Structure 1
Amino acid sequence: MTLGCQMNMSDSERVASVLDAAGCEKVETEEEANFIGILACSVRQKAIDKVYNKIAKWNKWKDKKNLVTFISGCMLPSDKERFLKLFDIVFTMPELPQLPRMLGEYGIANPLSLIAEPQSPVDEIKLFWKVKPKYDSKFEAFVPIQNGCNKYCTYCAVPYTRGREISRPSDEILQEVRELAEKGYKTITLLGQNVNSYGLDKNGHEINFAQLLEKVGQMGEEIDNEFWVYFTSPHPRDMTTDIFHIIAKYECLGKQIHFPLQSGDEKVLIKMNRNHSVSKYRETMHALREILPQATVFTDIIVGFTDETDEQLENTRKVMEEFKYNMAYIAMYSPRPGAASYRWKDTVSLEDKKKRYAILSEELAKHTLTYNRAMIGKTVKVLVREHDRKEGYLSGHTDGKLVIRFQSDNEALIGQIIELKVSAAAKFSLEGELVTVPAEA
């Protein structure tokens, strides 16, 4: 069971690979398993609540059968301490290569139980990155490029769950991206807690994020298969205009930018310890719009942060009105143990947080609907991802990650990049009609 962000999803693919190599066989249901676990997310309380519900159920099963439980993922030290009393095996993601040895200690024989112990946390994460993932999808993949965070935003627990920033060797990243692209993967997402600070921890002994994107772009020109490369999540403090110029230069670099705002009020940003101003963010946004006018822009926003006033919320709404985002992931603030703001009184009521959430959601919808309606009549490339909820339809996303569906029952289209003519628009989705179908479908 995997909870949390895309990084946890990517981590789960490496866990699956290690378990396969250790001789474990995947079963269809929890009830059939003799070894079962969770990749947790201490960043959100709801995710931790799910962990406690699951382990309570699994521990009851131990009265009736042999069962070994494990937990990993993003864990605060306080959560990890409690989990040690509830789960049989508790390990951090960098300790994943040691999992076979841990299994051996519980009597689960496997060929990898004698793997050598790493000597330091850096060695641990390097060994982890060398684990070849067992990708969940045949056409979409996540590639981690760095781990940890040095920013210490006051609302965030990630520096305490993932540790300090460590960049993965660029040659490993580029090799993994090339292998995926040559195998026919259609989207590849570069992952990190702060992707655009990539390489800064290496003191000039590694390329930076813009240079990494340049090498990926050059790779795209060498490979015949069409694919799109995205990245998440960047920090405004490290976002430079050369990144936009490189994305504009290469067709394989997806024309969608995730650019977290968090708040449109200067005082709230200071209290969040974001280390950037609204004016600096605006300056970067103007450069983005000028250099990449075709790009869609997604953002993250927190409402109801400690002591946020109605006037400060209005400042955020005005920034949303100014930048007209294509998507905003709006979250109601909740204190997390370990984060600095946990020590502060949560002064905004849940009722007010819900009201503010509704205000910003309405503001977002106004602009997404206008943008989507302007797409009607245009022909766009689309990666078909799955069956749509509407019967007889398939759905996917554009190069800019706008969701679009179309009428078809041809399952061979799933995992292919096709062309659709946009015929209708809603607040958060499009509808289209088939224009071209690749020969392989």
Structure 2
Amino acid sequence: MKYHLVSLGCQMNASDGERVRSVIENMGYQWTDKEEEANLIGILACSVRQKAIDKVYSKIHKWNLWKNKRNLITFVSGCILPSDLDKFLKLFDVIFQMKDLPKLPEMIQQYGVTTPIGLQQGFDAHNDNISEFWHVKPNYTSEFEAFIPIQNGCDKFCSFCAVPYTRGREVSRPSDEIVEEVKSLVENGFKSITLLGQNVNSYGLDKKGEEIDFPELLRRIGDLGNQLKNEFWVYFTSPHPRDMTDEVIEVIAQYKCLAKQIHLPVQSGDDKVLIHMNRKHGMEKYRQIVHTIKRLIPEATLFTDIIVGFTGENDEQFENTRKAMSEFEYNMAYIAMYSPRPGALSHRWFDDISLDVKKERHRILTQELKIHSKKYNASMVNKTFRLLVKGVAKHEGYLAGLTEGRINVRFLSENKNLIGQFVDIKITSAADFSVEGELITIKESVA
């Protein structure tokens, strides 16, 4: 019996998928890369983006046609809005919320018995028993990279975002479990670990007096890094500017294993648009955070998220976003054209920015990003950087990897034994979003 799983959306769904795989394989199923070979096919949906939902419908339409020729069970989970859930009920054999993952074997054995009312009650109680899900041991899809969920849900209610309605309110995972998982991964040779949450820097705030806060969590992981011999980098995503304190930045600067790369979503460079987005921070607050990062961790790279064409965004407001990109000189920006999602507050508002205008603003910001990304990349030339080799590059004869600051690097080598190892690379040339270098030394981490 074989299974296949498709994960859409953010890294949180990818991380959840590792636990889903673990549960399914404990049932005796074996993974297959080919959907057409599977007896059990699942998808982790993402109601946050319309494109992701469109892909769900495309996939399930194809899978249901296959049922005419062979036995096949389909399931769906992930971030699902009630409006999408109602439609999925008629299309999939099994639907479950991630907190109910431990019950998936029972659901599959008697699929089709879930009632819409019972299912809706389960989705209304988003984070009840989420600890049972966290206790499922992941089936990691990489031997050197791992994601660790540290919280679930979000309390921010940005007007463009559906996450509070798909994952519920914030719930923090016990810190002892998180630190223990980091320790276990590092001792087993993992070299890149990312802490995941919808708003990681509000970690612990839902359990004041019972749990530590995010700076202290990073500090404990940093102390662990000092104790262990193995070399590793720890990242986190995504933080919210409202909760980003100087203490977080100070802790990152203090510990070697805490990667000097920060993803700080700005979404817009205009204060009025930020108010409309219900971001609960202004550009001055954001600017102060970036200045602190530059002062305490000058070597850190800076990534961000930006939405163009949000409802009501005029030319002047968009220009403020372009100026912000120029001011902060991001190394990378994930630029999205706004699209309303049912469940989010902004869905009630008229989407008054045309697709052509959104595409043009996306193009302008991409060109602006290239200027600053290439400027930084050019500054890397003739310098040596530590690199985690991730795999074979698109160019024949090359391997590729990421620096600590998550800059893409390729170098001439066909030695696949280097994949998953740290090496030193001297940068020889730079492009818009990547650099090329030559291998200097091979220094494997202590096993």
- Distance, in Å, in 1 between the alignment partners of 2:157 and 2:400 is 38
Q: Does structure 1 retain, via aligned residues, the 8 Å contact 2:308–2:362?
A: yes
Match of 2:213 among 208, 226, 236: 208
Q: TM-score, normalised by structure 1?
A: 0.96
* Aligned amino acid, residue 299 of structure 2: Q
CA displacement at 1:27 relative to structure 2? 2.8
* Aligned amino acid, residue 269 of structure 1: L
- Residue equivalent to 1:364: 369
- Distance, in Å, in 1 between the alignment partners of 2:248 and 2:59 is 43
* Aligned amino acid, residue 262 of structure 2: I
CA displacement at 1:439 relative to structure 2? 5.4
Residue 431 of structure 1 aligns to a residue whose secondary structure is strand
- Distance, in Å, in 2 between the alignment partners of 1:14 and 1:236 is 30
For 1:208-247, what aligned pairs fall within 5 Å after superposition? 208-247=213-252
- Residue equivalent to 1:112: none
Q: Does structure 1 retain, via aligned residues, the 8 Å contact 2:126–2:167?
A: no
- Residue equivalent to 1:429: 434
* Aligned amino acid, residue 376 of structure 2: Y
- Residue equivalent to 1:193: 198
For 1:375-386, what aligned pairs fall within 5 Å after superposition? 375-386=380-391
Does residue 57 of structure 2 align to residue 36 of structure 1?
A: no
Match of 2:264 among 237, 259, 278: 259
Structure 1's 364 and 186: CA in aligned 2 closer, same or farther, altered over 3 A? same
- Residue equivalent to 1:110: none
- Distance, in Å, in 2 between the alignment partners of 1:264 and 1:90 is 39
Q: Which segment drifts farther, 330-339 or 28-37?
A: 28-37
For 1:398-413, what aligned pairs fall within 5 Å after superposition? 398-413=403-418
For 1:132-211, what aligned pairs fall within 5 Å after superposition? 132-211=137-216
CA displacement at 1:29 relative to structure 2? 1.7
Structure 1's 339 and 122: CA in aligned 2 closer, same or farther, altered over 3 A? closer
Structure 1's 228 and 63: CA in aligned 2 closer, same or farther, altered over 3 A? same
CA displacement at 1:35 relative to structure 2? 1.2
For 1:35-184, what aligned pairs fall within 5 Å after superposition? 35-106=40-111, 122-184=127-189
Does residue 331 of structure 2 align to residue 291 of structure 1?
A: no
CA displacement at 1:181 relative to structure 2? 0.6
Residue 129 of structure 2 aligns to a residue whose secondary structure is helix
Does residue 345 of structure 2 align to residue 313 of structure 1?
A: no
Match of 1:275 among 272, 277, 280: 280
- Residue equivalent to 1:111: none
Aligned pair count reads 430
CA displacement at 1:65 relative to structure 2? 1.3
- Distance, in Å, in 2 between the alignment partners of 1:106 and 1:397 is 43
Q: TM-score, normalised by structure 2?
A: 0.94
CA displacement at 1:438 relative to structure 2? 2.4
Q: Does structure 1 retain, via aligned residues, the 8 Å contact 2:127–2:169?
A: no
Describe the superposition over 1:364-402 as per-residue Cα deviations: whole angstroms up to 9, x where unpaired.
111111111111111100000011111100010101101
- Distance, in Å, in 1 between the alignment partners of 2:63 and 2:329 is 46
Q: Which segment drifts farther, 24-33 or 265-274?
A: 24-33
- Distance, in Å, in 1 between the alignment partners of 2:32 and 2:276 is 47
- Distance, in Å, in 2 between the alignment partners of 1:440 and 1:206 is 33
- Distance, in Å, in 2 between the alignment partners of 1:123 and 1:162 is 11
Describe the superposition over 1:12-38 as per-residue Cα deviations: whole angstroms up to 9, x where unpaired.
000000011122222342122221111
Structure 1's 155 and 235: CA in aligned 2 closer, same or farther, altered over 3 A? same
Residue 160 of structure 2 aligns to a residue whose secondary structure is coil
Structure 1's 439 and 41: CA in aligned 2 closer, same or farther, altered over 3 A? closer
Q: Does structure 1 retain, via aligned residues, the 8 Å contact 2:304–2:332?
A: yes
- Distance, in Å, in 1 between the alignment partners of 2:163 and 2:127 is 17
CA displacement at 1:121 relative to structure 2? 5.1
Residue 19 of structure 2 aligns to a residue whose secondary structure is helix
Q: Which segment drifts farther, 29-38 or 378-387?
A: 29-38
Residue 4 of structure 1 aligns to a residue whose secondary structure is coil
Structure 1's 407 and 28: CA in aligned 2 closer, same or farther, altered over 3 A? same
Identity of aligned residues (%): 61
* Aligned amino acid, residue 62 of structure 1: K
- Distance, in Å, in 2 between the alignment partners of 1:361 and 1:121 is 37
Gap runs ≥5 in structure 1: 108-116
* Aligned amino acid, residue 96 of structure 2: F
Residue 231 of structure 2 aligns to a residue whose secondary structure is coil
Q: Which segment drifts farther, 309-318 or 29-38?
A: 29-38
* Aligned amino acid, residue 342 of structure 1: H
CA displacement at 1:202 relative to structure 2? 0.3
CA displacement at 1:257 relative to structure 2? 0.2
- Distance, in Å, in 1 between the alignment partners of 2:380 and 2:108 is 54
- Residue equivalent to 1:22: 27
Describe the superposition over 1:240-269 as per-residue Cα deviations: whole angstroms up to 9, x where unpaired.
011111111110000000000000000000
- Residue equivalent to 2:331: 326
- Distance, in Å, in 2 between the alignment partners of 1:275 and 1:261 is 11
Aligned-pair RMSD on alpha carbons?
A: 1.4
- Residue equivalent to 2:117: none
Q: Does structure 1 retain, via aligned residues, the 8 Å contact 2:230–2:445?
A: no
Does residue 306 of structure 2 align to residue 301 of structure 1?
A: yes
Gap runs ≥5 in structure 2: 1-5, 113-121
